[in-house]
Structures are given as structure tokens and as C-alpha cells.
């Protein structure tokens, strides 16, 4: 498994790293985003969406809707489990089983730690963001994925 930690001193750097990962994604990939509230998970997802051909001006956090679906170069499901309290029911609440059946889609999940030990059927790419507020972020990307730059 590959694991890379990248320093992101600005919001733009977080977005750009999301773009780099997004450019390497293909249908069926699952991306798990971990990190505290305000870490930059939604901004990172906007980078992914941008790389997949979506205009990020129209992208909002799914913290209330739980799931947003975008049709870009691929279908992207953007999920946020922040408001889900019951870890047993988290996957059911967002219809994750059904979403994962769409093998041409990319699935991005914020607060993926709420799922516990969920079997995705594939090896997900994990993105862990540390830092919040105005401080620089350290973003670790792990999984069977190779993306550009360093």
C-alpha cells in the first residue's frame, strides 16, 4: 500500500491536492476522508470534483443532505456522515450499499470513521487531514493509487 504525506500550507494547496487525486480516480473508486471538523474535507472533495470536470461553484457540503450526486466525467457521490450518530445505521442511512453497486461511480465519504469496519468490496483510498483553523494541513493519502507530483 502506498502512503504519502503532503504539506498543504494554504486552502489552495488542499484543493490542488484534491485535484491531483481526482485526476487519478476511475469508476468504482472509494475515497474516505478523515479529519476534524473544519479540516478541509469538503474543500478537498471540491478539488476531486474539479478534476473530474465539475464546476465547483455549484458544490456544497452534504452535511444536511447526507448525499449529493454529481454528473461530471464520472458520476460522483459526495457523502457526509457528520450528522449520523448511530454507527450501525450509518451506511443504511445514506443507502451506501446501493451506491456502491454503481461500479462506474466514484464515492467520496466525509467522516468515514463513522462507518466503523465497513466492507466496501474494494480497497478504499484513505485521506487523513490533520490541522484546522488557519494552520497548515498535513494530508496523508494511502491506498492503491498513484497520482501526479509530490
Q: How far is the CB of 110 from Mg ion (least distance, A)?
A: 5
Contact flag: residue 136 with ligand ADP (CB under 6 A) = yes
> Of 49, 59, 55, nearest to 21 (Cα)?
49
5 binds ligand ADP (CB under 6 A): no
Residue 47 within binding range of ligand ADP, rule CB under 6 A: no
**Binds ligand ADP (CB under 6 A): choice among 21, 25, 30, 43:** 43
> What's the min distance (Å) between Cβ of 3 and ligand ADP?
19
- Taking the C-alpha atoms of residue 108 and residue 9, their distance in angstroms, rounded to an integer, is 23
Nearer to ligand ADP among residue 89 and residue 136 (C-beta): 136
Residue 33: CB partners within 8 Å, gap ≥ 6? 41, 44, 45, 108, 109, 110, 111, 112, 127, 129
**Which residue, 11 or 97, is less far from ligand ADP as judged by CB?**
11
Place of cell 489552495: 12
Give the residue closest to ligand ADP by C-beta: 40
Cell digits for 30?
Answer: 472509494
Nearest residue (CB) to ligand ADP, 1 versus 64: 64
Distance between CA atoms of residues 96 and 106, nearest Å: 12
- Residue from 18, 40, 47, 62 binding ligand ADP (CB under 6 A): 40
Closest CA to 61 of 47, 87, 41: 41
Contact mark string toward ligand ADP, 85..124, x via CB under 6 A: -------------------------x--------------
Q: Which residues pair with 30 in a beta bridge?
A: 107
Amino acid at each position: 500500500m502506498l502512503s504519502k504525506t503532503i504539506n498543504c500550507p494554504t486552502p489552495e494547496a488542499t484543493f490542488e491536492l484534491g485535484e491531483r487525486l481526482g485526476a487519478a480516480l476511475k469508476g468504482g473508486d472509494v475515497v474516505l476522508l478523515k479529519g476534524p471538523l473544519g479540516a478541509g474535507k469538503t474543500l478537498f472533495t471540491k478539488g476531486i470534483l474539479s478534476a473530474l470536470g465539475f464546476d465547483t461553484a455549484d458544490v456544497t457540503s452534504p452535511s444536511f443532505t447526507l448525499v449529493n450526486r454529481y454528473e461530471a466525467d464520472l458520476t460522483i457521490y459526495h457523502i457526509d456522515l457528520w450528522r449520523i450518530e448511530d454507527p450501525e445505521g450509518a451506511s443504511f442511512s445514506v443507502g451506501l450499499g446501493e451506491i456502491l453497486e454503481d461500479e462506474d461511480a466514484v464515492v467520496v465519504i466525509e467522516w468515514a470513521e463513522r462507518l466503523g469496519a465497513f466492507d466496501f468490496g474494494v480497497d478504499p483510498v484513505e485521506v487523513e487531514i490533520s490541522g484546522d483553523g488557519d494552520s497548515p494541513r498535513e494530508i496523508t493519502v494511502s491506498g492503491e493509487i498513484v497520482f501526479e507530483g509530490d
